[in-house]
Amino acid sequence: MSSSCYHCGEPVPKGVELSVCIEQIRQVMCCIGCQAVAQTIVDNNLTEYYRFRTEPANKGAALVPEQLQRHQLLDDENLQHDFIYQDENSKEAILTVDGISCAACAWLIEMQLDKLPGLMSVNVNATTQRARVQWADDEIKLSEILSTLDKIGYQALPFKASTVEEKNKSQSKAFIKRLGISGILMMQVMMIAIGLYFGAFSDMSAHNLVYLRWASFLLTIPVVTYGAFPFYLGAFNTLKLKRLSMDVPVSIAIILSFIASGWATISQQGEVYFESVSMFTFLLLVGKFLEFRARARAAEVSANLLKLMPMTATKLELDDNNSKEVLVSAKSLQALDKVIIKPGEVVPADGIIISGQSQLNEAMLSGEQLPLDKGVGDTVFAGTINGDGNLTVEVKQDVNHSFLSQLIRLSESSQAHKPKLARLSDQIAQYFVAVILLTAIGTAYYWHQHMPHEAFWITLSVLVATCPCALSLATPTALTCATTRLNREGIMVKSGHVMETIPKIDCYAFDKTGTLTTGEFEITRVTLPDTDKKQDKAQALKIAAALEAYSQHPLAKPFVQYRDFSYQISDAKVHPGAGISGMVNGNSYRVGKVSWLLSGEQLVQYQNAQCVLICDDKLVAAFYLEDKIREDAERLLSTLNETKNKTMMLSGDSASGCDSVSRQLQLDQVSSSLSAEDKMAIIKAEQQSHTVAMVGDGVNDTPVFGAAHVSIAMGSGTDVAKSGADVILLSNRLSSVSTLKSLAIKTRKIIFQNYAWAFGYNAIVLPLAVAGLITPYMAVIGMSASSILVITNSLRLLKS
């Protein structure tokens, strides 16, 4: 037999003898979960899945009663309101399905669900890992559909899209529909135009000519009404505000060319250009659709964040002085509720850990892939994933006020905000439209005097060729792509002016604790009053570590590495705000604050120590701890110094603590023992000759943030809604400051490139169009190509 599981491909542990007969061959399985899934596939005559799959299946998991309860909770009508579409006879939902690795998985799911009574339809998209299911609620429940998927090894939950994403999907469908109709009808009109062109050289009979013209006229009507409707709507809305936009000349061009061709058809005099109108509208729609797709990329960030929120939570409720676990909707959680978060589950709300210890993956918020150790007293955030420990968490605030929800609102707000550069481009485009309209009028007058039969089409070419679409797209597409890229890097831009201000920054001011340092302490020195033997130091560290194991204080964490389990602890007691006492190997010890354990001369002598260890009121050791310098702090400061930026450290800490940091880092100026007012005064003084950015932890630096040109907050521990920071480094990496600046500089460069192309194109094409050297066909293609080039150039910002 093979040593790897036939179902999931993982190694089979020694001593495990499980198998399933698949197509008359006994296949080995690694666990009961895989065996159950494989047997279900065999029992339902779906073994073809194994023949056609291209990837191993996900490891099977035994279905436990708790999973069934979670599924049943989703049958609640109040909860279903968020994710189910319902009509008189059925319900419909989109499911996110984990574990789909190839087309065979999609086939297996569809075949298995098709067997369920009451299921009306199921469609699985292997690319998006989503399934659309429709069922009769009086015959089958959603929980039964989800349980059926569990049995064949796929976990599914209702897909929740944000309002913005739903709106974008609706707009995308409308665009594609307009493109489809316009494209198909354009091709028919083009075929008829070919007949008309050949007919002009072969002396086509009059009635055939009239017939083809009327056919073109009728086929073009849906294109210029339904297809071109977005341009009319845009023109109407801007004119209503007494403004001009690029939709105005486009709408005028479409309407005039269609009316002129229609009149020629009705009166049977003059030329018709229905094929020009159709192609013009279709290519404009293509450009508009590409513009929409570029803008929609920003909304994907918020939508993806929203999908991190779990549907259900395990709440602890008191019943006759006993606590019981109850599955509830995560949206119903309120402050002070107690929830249990089991290994692998998603945290349902922001809260404080009141019992348990685990590692949490916060990559979805910060971009940091390594899990973080968290214990009692630490904060957890909704949407993050629990590791291998059980946690009991007290909810801090409801879901709508969670950090994740605030992050989503901030993302959408920053995308909606228009910086000065974008507003300037809108104003330039507006004036440019006015110039185009005046030029078109002048062109029409001139050519009407010299070549009346060509005047209309030359004027039409002027309107189309010089339409400032690329100019209008130059800034917003670049900013959208840049913001999306920053979000991927764990950098949240809150203020619209950041991208244009950051390239000008030439002075960076840093807070110390939690910014240049990690906020995590390390033991730098151990002092023994009677001897300095290394073995006595080691013993003191082990005793202190044994006692500190009962504390969750930040100063206790550095002792973890010295823990020796041969030191037995009894009668351990935590003294809040002071330290810990207990019996270690039969002796009474206390470890904690110097002021709690020492007095008199000893207090003065060891006042700079962070904690001391005593045995029966006799000093054993004094421990000196320092904050760790962030790993990327030196690299960032070196980069800033090399690029001639001034660097300062503004700290409220003592001079000795600041000197220790300044000896390890290249800083132009170090100021210690500062109040918030002192920091503000220094920044304002620097602003006389520099553009200043302040980088801090966002807690005590909020007043200082307001004084700086750009304020940057570290981490996610602060209340984002009340923070005065312009930028939040969710990844907690100082190197993100370099990333932010380099991307801002690149964004500015790409915006100027877009402007150069947009102005250059119009400067070249306008004289040619006025001179009658550009046909309507060429004008449409040139204008669309110009817009697509600008969008493509902006998309370079998404690449690493």
Mind listing the pLDDT tens digit for each residue in 486-527? Answer: 877 888 787 778 888 899 999 999 988 778 887 677 788 888
Residue 721 has pLDDT above 50, yes or no: no
pLDDT digits (tens, 9 = 90+) for 724-775: 678 888 777 888 999 999 999 999 899 889 888 888 888 888 888 888 888 7
Distance CA 380, CA 394 (A): 10
Asked if residue 13 lies in contact with residue 32, where contact means CB atoms within 8 angstroms, the answer is: no
With respect to residue 500, please indicate whether it lies within any of the assigned structural domains. no
In a shared domain, residues 221 and 366: no
Nearest partner of 156 among 106, 79, 72, 95, judged by Cα: 95
In a shared domain, residues 299 and 426: yes
With respect to residue 716, please indicate whether it lies within any of the assigned structural domains. no
Distance CA 563, CA 223 (A): 77
pLDDT digits (tens, 9 = 90+) for 599-633: 888 888 887 787 899 988 888 899 988 777 888 88
Residue 564 has pLDDT above 60, yes or no: yes
The 10 Å Cβ neighbour count of residue 583 is 14
Asked if residue 501 lies in contact with residue 691, where contact means CB atoms within 8 angstroms, the answer is: yes
With respect to residue 495, please indicate whether it lies within any of the assigned structural domains. no
pLDDT for 503 equals 92
Question: Helices 65-73 and 142-151 sit at what angle, rounded to 10 degrees?
Answer: 150
4 DSSP assignment: B
Asked if residue 263 lies in contact with residue 205, where contact means CB atoms within 8 angstroms, the answer is: no
For residue 614 the two structure tokens come to: 């005593």
Cα atoms in the 13 Å half-sphere on the side-chain side of 240: 6
For residue 770, count CB atoms less than 10 angstroms from its CB and return exposed for 0-12, middle for 13-18, buried for 19 or more.
buried
In a shared domain, residues 119 and 189: no
In a shared domain, residues 191 and 139: no
- Residue 57 binned pLDDT confidence (cut-offs 50, 70, 90): confident
Mean predicted lDDT score pLDDT of the chain: 79
Asked if residue 629 lies in contact with residue 661, where contact means CB atoms within 8 angstroms, the answer is: yes
With respect to residue 155, please indicate whether it lies within any of the assigned structural domains. yes
Domain that holds residue 387: 312-344+350-396
* SS3 sequence of 313-371: EEEEEEECCEEEEEEEEHHHCCCCCEEEECCCCECCCCEEEEECCEEEECHHHHCCCCC
Residue 278 has pLDDT above 80, yes or no: yes
pLDDT for 226 equals 92
Distance CA 120, CA 117 (A): 8
In a shared domain, residues 189 and 104: no
Distance CA 292, CA 282 (A): 15
CA 794 to chain centre: 19
In a shared domain, residues 612 and 554: yes
pLDDT for 742 equals 93
Residue 243 has pLDDT above 50, yes or no: yes
Residue 140 has pLDDT above 80, yes or no: yes
Q: Which residues lie below 8 Å from residue 704, measured CB to CB, with a gap of 6+?
A: 650, 676, 679, 680, 683, 694, 696, 711
Mean pLDDT of 275-293: 75
Asked if residue 311 lies in contact with residue 176, where contact means CB atoms within 8 angstroms, the answer is: no
* SS3 sequence of 567-630: CCEEEEEEECCCEEEEEECCEEEEEECHHHHCCHHHHHHCCCCCEEEEECCEEEEEEEEEEEEC
Can you tell me which residue has the tokens 């969670």?
A: 402
For residue 732 the two structure tokens come to: 């907690």
- The last residue of one of the domains, among 628, 661, 680, is 628
The CATH number of residue 524's host domain is 3.40.1110.10
pLDDT digits (tens, 9 = 90+) for 406-427: 666 555 555 445 556 656 666 6
In a shared domain, residues 89 and 147: yes
Return the H-helix or E-strand segment holding 136.
none
The 10 Å Cβ neighbour count of residue 763 is 10
Phi, psi of 613 (to 5 degrees): -120, 130
Residue 430 has pLDDT above 80, yes or no: no
In a shared domain, residues 174 and 274: yes
With respect to residue 469, please indicate whether it lies within any of the assigned structural domains. no
Asked if residue 461 lies in contact with residue 765, where contact means CB atoms within 8 angstroms, the answer is: no
In a shared domain, residues 193 and 283: yes
Can you tell me which residue has the tokens 């602060």?
A: 718
- The last residue of one of the domains, among 38, 62, 86, is 62
With respect to residue 435, please indicate whether it lies within any of the assigned structural domains. yes
pLDDT digits (tens, 9 = 90+) for 645-702: 999 998 876 666 678 788 889 899 998 877 777 888 899 899 999 999 999 875 556 6
For residue 34, count CB atoms less than 10 angstroms from its CB and return exposed for 0-12, middle for 13-18, buried for 19 or more.
buried
Distance CA 486, CA 465 (A): 35
With respect to residue 357, please indicate whether it lies within any of the assigned structural domains. yes
pLDDT digits (tens, 9 = 90+) for 650-663: 887 666 667 878 88
In a shared domain, residues 262 and 182: yes
How distant, in Å, are the alpha carbons of 182, 246, 281, 343, 787 from that of 469?
20, 6, 14, 52, 6
pLDDT for 298 equals 45
Domains in the chain: how many in total? 5
What residues pair up with 647 in beta bridges, in sequence order?
Answer: 508
Nearest partner of 256 among 61, 437, 112, judged by Cα: 437
For residue 602 the two structure tokens come to: 């000893």
Return the H-helix or E-strand segment holding 510.
strand 507-510
Q: Which residues lie below 8 Å from residue 631, measured CB to CB, with a gap of 6+?
A: none
243, 245, 250, 253 alpha-carbon torsion, rounded to 10°: 30
The 10 Å Cβ neighbour count of residue 542 is 17
- The last residue of one of the domains, among 599, 628, 657, is 628
The larger pLDDT score, comparing residue 58 to residue 216, is at 216
Out of 355-369, 375-389, 752-766, which region has the weakest mean confidence (pLDDT)? Answer: 355-369
- Residue 717 binned pLDDT confidence (cut-offs 50, 70, 90): very low
Return the top range by mean pLDDT from 112-116, 154-158, 315-319: 112-116
Terminal-to-terminal C-alpha distance of the chain: 46
Mean pLDDT of 428-451: 84
Residue 184 has pLDDT above 80, yes or no: yes
Q: DSSP string of 264-329?
A: HHHHT-S---HHHHHHHHHHHHHHHHHHHHHHHHHHHHHHHHHTTS-SEEEEEEEETTEEEEEEEE
pLDDT for 329 equals 76
pLDDT for 720 equals 47
Out of 43-47, 191-195, 488-492, 779-783, which region has the weakest mean confidence (pLDDT)? Answer: 779-783
The larger pLDDT score, comparing residue 319 to residue 771, is at 771
With respect to residue 662, please indicate whether it lies within any of the assigned structural domains. no
Return the H-helix or E-strand segment holding 507.
strand 507-510
pLDDT for 436 equals 82
Residue 212 has pLDDT above 80, yes or no: yes
Nearest partner of 753 among 789, 784, 783, 781, judged by Cα: 789
Q: How big is the chain, counted in residues?
A: 800
Distance CA 737, CA 717 (A): 18
In a shared domain, residues 190 and 144: no
The larger pLDDT score, comparing residue 584 to residue 324, is at 584
Q: DSSP string of 655-701?
A: HHHHHHHHTTS--SEEE-S--HHHHHHHHHHHTTTS-EEEEE-SSS-
Distance CA 645, CA 738 (A): 12
In a shared domain, residues 289 and 273: yes
For residue 297 the two structure tokens come to: 């990329």
Phi, psi of 83 (to 5 degrees): -140, 5
Helices and strands in the chain: count of H runs, count of E runs: 26, 29
- Residue 205 binned pLDDT confidence (cut-offs 50, 70, 90): confident
How distant, in Å, are the alpha carbons of 70, 156, 312 from that of 67?
5, 11, 11
The CATH number of residue 142's host domain is 3.30.70.100
pLDDT for 303 equals 53
In terms of DSSP bridges, do strands 385-386 and 358-361 run parallel, antiparallel, or are they unpaired?
Answer: antiparallel
